[in-house]
A and B are shown apart, each in its own frame.
Chain A
């Protein structure tokens, strides 16, 4: 794996898969040059430099919609689009789309146990108190 400036950019955004992330972290720990480069990227972000990758990732610019992911699951899209979404999920490793797909596939949902359901209910009730007051 070649570690480029763009790779480090993706690493900072936590957009690499687990294996690549471990590889990059190990390389950065072992290489003063890479560590310096990583610091310079963080510093350049701090002063407001723009990175195509960071913006693309943050705005989810090429992510399929939730509806498209649902159709992907049902294989109800044209083959090219299915192939692209598979690439986006598996090769690019988009965490947001993988989470969406898991959610679509989940029959039980995230609140399967009673404790979690109760915690959810309490949160819903308490958070309503923070809503802006009706005019």
Chain B
């Protein structure tokens, strides 16, 4: 073990929970992670000690709230390797981050005849905003396919990304297959063709070191709730020169410089994109979540997950009636494993495992086209994080065996 899992588990009050008689085995981390007490305490601390609006008052609490809010932004910037904190914009989640780019940058820069390139592994939030931009602009949406073993088809990508391409968007880690995609090469292909790249970091930022400068991407998005933070807050990072040139997307307080009844002028970055009172408490708590992960070290988080995923792949592929949807080799792969049982539908499996305290996700995982490309309508998914153990993988495998026997009776 590269991280002390027992010590980590003690920080997560929810892991004490029992489901019926059974201890909770939480394996739905790709949907949302659990929160350490440090993050929960940060929320309580803000509301009990210095709840005040930011960027306005001169009173003590407003100053404290503003300092904590902006410090959290700087922490997130450092966490993803962004040089300027002002290039980090708070959003509700990554869906809002992608929508911001599709509306603000997209409406100004994408026109009829242009092409928008996405991958076969995008979450619905990486499909629909671009589909709608294509409909508004008359541009064409093109899709980089996957290979039979659940990887992006990079040869196809080289053909699909061309001089008509305006933007490429790609998940760094698939939320269904667990595949880690070579977004750096996709970015290079985009730039060679004068296009931009948006990297969807919803599943990568929580689980592996991310450096937007090294990736050489143009936009990067994440959701805090998948990385120990609260729900309702996410981040869009963008190259400052791009963000400066983009028009605001939402209008209101805080995002303006000067307002008359006839016109208004816009505040500087990042406030131009943060209309209204922001999500202060959750932003501050996100900073604490980032502190927690940084103290563990993202290299160590990644190493732990490689170990547990390798073990889970070995155990699950030993089950004759179970088929794993994504790559079964552990290279370039994150801790997300989707699978199907030949005799038990994922929903029945999910309900039955829940009786044993084991929480997995079942369904289409907000990626209908990808799941359907495996000729199934649904799948079961187990996904791991820093507090999961190999004993919990054993519990999952034993659980599946019991369910198997139950449905054979």
Chains A and B come from one and the same complex: no
Listed in ascending order, the chain B residues whose CB lies under 8 Å from chain A are none
Listed in ascending order, the chain A residues whose CB lies under 8 Å from chain B are none
